[in-house]
Homo-oligomer: A and B are copies of this chain.
Amino acid sequence: MLNTPSAPTILDVAARAGVSKSVVSRVLRGEYGVAVATRDKVRAAAQELGYVVNSVAQSMVTNRTRTIGVFVRDAAAPFYSQLLTSLQEQAAIRGYGVVTATGAGRFAGPDENTAIARLVSLRVEGLVVSSGLLPSELIAQYASRIPIVLAGRPEQNPTFSSIYCDENVGGASMADHIAALGHTRVAVLSLARETSIPQFMRSEAMIRRLGDLNIETLRLSAEEYSEARIAGAPAVVSQMLKHPEYTALLTPSDRWAIAVLENMRSRNLTAPGHLSVTGYDGIWPFTTDLIGLTTWRQPVGEIGVLAINSIADQIEGALSHPIHQSLNGELIVGRTGGPPPVR
């Protein structure tokens, strides 16, 4: 704004209280060694002026910002938005604020790099990166400077930490579940690796396990770069209709499963009556009993908590090396997966 009255500084408070700025600084930070009378005078002056400390100047000298940077690729995706909430909460508990940056684009590109560089330039004390795509070299580039944790993607890079839910276990469990229901021909939607590494990994894990179980597998593919609005579902369902011998469709995200189910509904197809459909992530509210989605739950809240803790521990010196933690997920048995239809 052009003519905003500039905020009062420590000097204004000092002048008003009739003391030096050092005293004000000490009072405001609650340090000892200040006469009670002086202390009260200063506090009153600060109050009257509506003084709020300038953290920018403060950081300048203390070299601390008490801020953690969070980069998520697609804030509109349910998994990320829920992670964001969890990170937020835990950061507050540990006494840190959160600055968020998001990638916009379709590919991990210069934008992503700029966004991360911006966080670093803000002198965040740690970085939580959650992107299914961002190249690990790019992340590693900042790792010598501040602690970094990659949340939600397995990556055993020694220079930064990672917290994730094992994609192989999840994918295989889902395959086991669908096999146990009696399906012998199963389709798996597998997105390109360039779309999302973890989603690619889980689909491949499903396909691998189905192969081990001697189940005939159909690999479907689709391109989709934002989880928020999935457009490819009609095409996927059409594919399935061309291969009616395949009685189940395993998708790599709840969002995909819902889009498929919505499209099926518009064609008067039901799950599992016509086709069993499963999701992945187990994110509320997709797990509502009203929908009854069969899915694999990733402990997103826990991922957030552990991510912040590992960062905070490193900042505070309680942890000196990057750690890699794999968490357990959980199969959620809903009503969209069932025995194959009798034909």
Chain B residue numbers with a CB within 8 Å of A317 are 1-2
Q: For chain A, give the interface size range.
A: 35 or more
Instruction: Report the nearest B residue to A5, measured CB to CB.
Output: B144
Instruction: Give the CA-CA distance A146 to B50 in the complex, in Å.
Output: 13
Q: Can you list 6 contacts pairing A with B, beta carbon distance less than 8 Å?
A: A5-B145, A50-B145, A55-B122, A81-B81, A97-B122, A261-B290
Q: Please tell me if the beta carbons of A55 and B121 are within 8 angstroms of each other in the complex.
A: yes
Q: Please tell me if the beta carbons of B92 and A97 are within 8 angstroms of each other in the complex.
A: no
Q: With an 8 A cutoff between CB atoms, is A224 at the interface?
A: no
**8 Å CB contact of A120 from B52, B78, B97, B102:** B52
Q: Please tell me if the beta carbons of A92 and B104 are within 8 angstroms of each other in the complex.
A: yes
Chain B residue numbers with a CB within 8 Å of A288 are 258, 262, 291
What's the least CB distance linking A55 to chain B, in Å?
A: 4
CB neighbors of B among A76-95 (8 A):
76, 78, 81-82, 84-85, 88-89, 92
What's the least CB distance linking A169 to chain B, in Å?
A: 26
Instruction: Report the nearest B residue to A119, measured CB to CB.
Output: B97
Instruction: Give the CA-CA distance A99 to B56 in the complex, in Å.
Output: 14
Q: Please tell me if the beta carbons of A100 and B102 are within 8 angstroms of each other in the complex.
A: no
What's the least CB distance linking A29 to chain B, in Å?
A: 13
Instruction: Give the CA-CA distance A122 to B85 in the complex, in Å.
Output: 21
**Given A60-B57, A89-B102, residue A146 in contact with residue B4 (CB < 8 A):** yes
Q: With an 8 A cutoff between CB atoms, is A333 at the interface?
A: no
**8 Å CB contact of A291 from B98, B104, B291:** B291
Instruction: Give the CA-CA distance A78 to B286 in the complex, in Å.
Output: 12
Instruction: Report the nearest B residue to A80, measured CB to CB.
Output: B85
Q: Which 9 A-B residue pairings sit nearest by Cβ, starting from the closest?
A: A55-B121, A75-B85, A2-B317, A56-B59, A52-B120, A76-B85, A99-B99, A55-B122, A56-B123
Q: Please tell me if the beta carbons of A118 and B97 are within 8 angstroms of each other in the complex.
A: yes
Q: With an 8 A cutoff between CB atoms, is A127 at the interface?
A: no
